Every structure is written in structure tokens, then in C-alpha cells.
Structure 1
């Protein structure tokens, strides 16, 4: 590809972040020869985008399921890919907080351009978070900017679950983990979690232990007991009530497992 020599596109002024959603067709293009001083993230919902690469006879494509990150000072030569002639995407220009920098260490596909491909579950969560980022940015609430920033951070954290250089969890297991976190009082045996992950019980149990280092049953129990610890620390609710709220139907069994987990019975743990 030969880089075009178009007129320079408008460069936005970004204080914290600038987010939006575009659904564009043939002819949409942006060109900034020096890029911007902020990071640019795009998240393709449909169609296909393209990114030109300086001093290279190729393009970087942005298909559905891909999230693309362009670093500050990198050429902006992007637009609708001419074959599909359509690109629907969410975008955020942002200046990262210092503690976000490890979350931006994505695989580099061209100088200054990084991409991640997400599984279905993570893709859905990234999309939800970025849509919230866009929505809060337009809020009349005085906290709108900070809410938008928090939503972007959530999106980056979900992206990190898909980063091959980070500790990855299979997308199917994420569905089961979300089911656990949604309601600890629910029936959460291995068969239920395997169905949520769309796996056989044996395959689910093997994959879960391989990736998380613990059986599904022990994982659920730990989540329940950790939640019980927080409730004992922060509330005055009766121990039997807390046991029920975290999914134990038998208070005596709860006390036994709690002591095994923390080394203390619930009453002593609360007093300490």
C-alpha cells in the first residue's frame, strides 16, 4: 500500500478521554501524520477497518472481535476497509493513569499498533464497558467523566484477560466464573457450571483445574467463604444469616468449613 497524502484530519483535544461510537461506510477515513499525544483504542463491532503503516507496503485490518490500540505519536491513517465498505466501532482517545500501563502491553502487530482478539464472553464485557464509557461521557452528572474513566478501566481489565502475555483464562470458564460471582446462593455444582461453560462435566473440571489450579467445587467454596469473611467484618448480621447469604444451607457445616478456611470459628473471626 502507498500511503495517501490527504489533508490532515482534525486532532481532538483530550483532557482525560474522548469516547464515541461510529457506524461508517465507504469513504470514511482519518489521517494524522504525527498521530496524537493520547492513546487511541478502537473496538470493532461489525464490518472491518484498516490502518495504514508508515514505510510499509501493508495494512493492519480490524475485523469484528478485534480491539486495536494505537500508541501516542503513531501515524493515524485509518478508515473503512474498501472490500467490506463498512466499519462499526467504538473508540476512545485517552491518557492512561500510570497504573494502567501494564494493561496496555498488548501484542504489537505493526510499529505503534497493538491488537487483541477476544472470545465471545470477554468481547461482550469489553463492549458493555466501552458503551458505558461513551454513555457516561455524555452524562449531565458532575461525576460523568470519572464514571466514564472507570468504565474504560473495566474494559482494559477485560482486555487483559485476553492478552496472551498475561495469565489467560479460557473464555468458556469466564462464563462459569461470572455465574458464581452473580449469585453465591444459587445451585453451583459442577454440572451447573459445566452447562454454563457449554462443556462436558469431565472436560470442564479438567480445564478448570488446569487453568485455575483448583477444582470447581473448591473454587466455589472459597468464593463463598471469602464473601462470608467480608460480611463478618463489615456487618452485624447473625452468623446463620451470613451462612445462608453465601450459599450454605447448614450453619454447622458453614462453621466447620469457615474454620478450615481461616483457622478460626466465625464468632472469633468477627471479634478479632
Structure 2
């Protein structure tokens, strides 16, 4: 539901219980003015064109903007077109550290994500829009979770937070999508468009562990989740997590968790057992 702002009769103020997400593709003349702002946070991620946000602030392609509650909202199309995804939302308390972005004007915060992160932010916000219109009873929560994913990707680009090189983010995402595949340093370096030596050095410098140690941890964490949530045989879980030798998997799993896979499942595993 939308309400007219009594202080600004021509402005429409969203009334948001948890989340209101959408996509606008506006031409010349599009403008919004809310002197008192809104009670929620407003996230805008520009896909194409340029938006003008007042105070000399602009949002071009790939720019992600966050407006704090109670901040004057004076934005619109800067030139011929402004195509953007948006979300009015009330954050959970544990999201607040994710909203500490660099300020470009009072109450207006911005990030300029790298290409890969911008693509992931676009994908997550698009899912937030899609799930909001879902007929599923879980649609609102799915939309809210997609927004959290967008904010987490934004956090990877926040200079106030620990940042990762965009090329390393591509490699890390590749690892998570291909646990059963070849995750050698050569493959990951190729995914990042870096030489093997440069990739290995940059990865250890920014992530804190060598690439192969990171891959093993990811595989072991995935195996632990499968042991907790499924009743599948240990050998099948080892294969799904990218271990071709079940005995080697059991040895590394014990070193990682302090328990054999069977002990781990017995002590911390699924209630299905």
C-alpha cells in the first residue's frame, strides 16, 4: 500500500512492513521528492542510464546507492533514461553492519562494485523482485533472503569492510559451484584470468590461506552439511564433496572436525536418523 506524504501532496510514500522490491525503467521527466524521506532504508542499483539523487550525486550503471531512513529523497532521471532495481526494506538487526557504506551526501551512501559483484547484486535483487510476486506462501521470506544476498555481495565491495579482489570472488564462486570438479590452482587461476603464481600470491594475501587449503575446507564444510541433513552413505557424500577416495576423505574430515564422518553424524547429525 502507498500513502500520500502530507508534507508533499504530490509524493507517494511507500508503507513497507518488511520489504518492497521492484524494477523501474524510466525516461526523461521521472522524479520523486519526499522531504521527510521514508521510515525504511532504500536500496537502488542502476542497470542502465543515470539517476540524479540531489546534492550533486549521480548513479550510473553498476552504481549501488543506499538512502538512510528519514533522509530527503530527491531523485529522478538525470538524462534520457534511468533503469534500476530498488528495495525499500526494514533490516534485521544483524544486517546493520552491512549498511555502513561510504557516505557521498548526508544520508546517502554509495558503492561502485566490480563487474562480477555488480552482476551478482543484479541477480539477487532480480530474485527479490521475482519472489515478491510469487504465489508461494514463502515468497516474502524468499524475497527477503535474496535481498540479504544482495547486501552480502555489496559488503564484498565495501572499502570499510575486508575487501576481496573481484577476480578472486569469481574463483570462490566457481569453487562453490563445482566442488566435484577439477579445482586445481591452474583451473582457478584461469577462472580469475591470472597467472598461477599471481593468483596463488593474491589469494593467500587476501583470503589468508593457500587456494588448495581453501578448496579442501569448502569441500569438508559441504560434506559436514550433507552428513547433518541427509542419510546418504558416507562414500556418496565424499564423492559429492569432491573426494574420490573415501578413506582419504575420512582422514581429512577427522582432522577438520575432530570426529570421523560417522561419529560426526551420530553426535551432530540429522534428526532423520
Q: In the TM superposition, what are the counterparts of 1:1-272 in structure 2 within 5 Å?
A: 8-53=10-55, 59-82=56-79, 85-272=80-267
Change in 2 beyond 3 A, CA 1:237/1:17: closer
TM-score, scaled to structure 2: 0.89
The answer to which of 110-119 and 178-187 deviates more is: 178-187
> Once the 2 structures are TM-superposed, how far is the Cα of residue 99 of structure 1 from its aligned partner?
1.8
Across the aligned residues of Structure 1 and Structure 2, the Cα RMSD in angstroms comes to 1.8
Q: For each residue in 1:210-267, what CA deviation from the matched residue of structure 2 results, as whole angstroms up to 9, or x when unmatched?
A: 0111111111111112222233344343332222221111223223322332344434
Q: Is the 8 A contact 1:8 1:33 kept in 2?
A: no
The answer to which of 225-234 and 167-176 deviates more is: 225-234
Q: Is the 8 A contact 1:7 1:31 kept in 2?
A: no
TM-score, scaled to structure 1: 0.89
Cα separation, 2, equivalents of 1:267 and 1:135: 41
The total of aligned residue pairs comes to: 260
> Once the 2 structures are TM-superposed, how far is the Cα of residue 48 of structure 1 from its aligned partner?
0.7
> Once the 2 structures are TM-superposed, how far is the Cα of residue 271 of structure 1 from its aligned partner?
4.1
Q: For each residue in 1:21-69, what CA deviation from the matched residue of structure 2 results, as whole angstroms up to 9, or x when unmatched?
A: 111121111111121111111100011111113xxxxx10101111001
Change in 2 beyond 3 A, CA 1:233/1:86: closer
Cα separation, 2, equivalents of 1:112 and 1:81: 20
Change in 2 beyond 3 A, CA 1:28/1:216: same
Helix, strand or coil at the partner of 1:261:
helix
Change in 2 beyond 3 A, CA 1:266/1:11: closer
Helix, strand or coil at the partner of 2:11:
coil
Q: For each residue in 1:77-116, what CA deviation from the matched residue of structure 2 results, as whole angstroms up to 9, or x when unmatched?
A: 111113xx21111111112222211111111110000001
